[in-house]
Structure 1
């Protein structure tokens, strides 16, 4: 069976959790890298805009309890 190329829809609706009131941005991945002395390594966000975006993304996430109720296995504890 031959694989068909995936087509992306440029008119698609924003992802779940995307906030229409935040300015469009490439986020961390689209930024120029910072010198190691200035980087906030270990942080989930680099600035307030990233924090708002992450918060909106997290609103759409189910809790471990909700996943267990649906018979799914939640994310394993990381040691």
Structure 2
């Protein structure tokens, strides 16, 4: 997995902060016209890497969209 793709994911989410961004839209931003065969699996990997980069958080995948929420250390029980 490419760090550049994770950066594109972050940039896309930041530019569209407060908006619902579909997984189709994210896929087009990250891979353009050549998505991987297992797009959702790749998306899960990049979201996981982004969560690690941001120091935690929660990601929810629903049909057609991704939601990432920052979770405080207190709410994680740390």
Scaled by the length of structure 1, the TM-score of the pair is 0.27
Would you tell me which structure has more helix in proportion to its own residues?
Answer: 2
Greater strand share, structure number: 2
Larger radius of gyration: 1
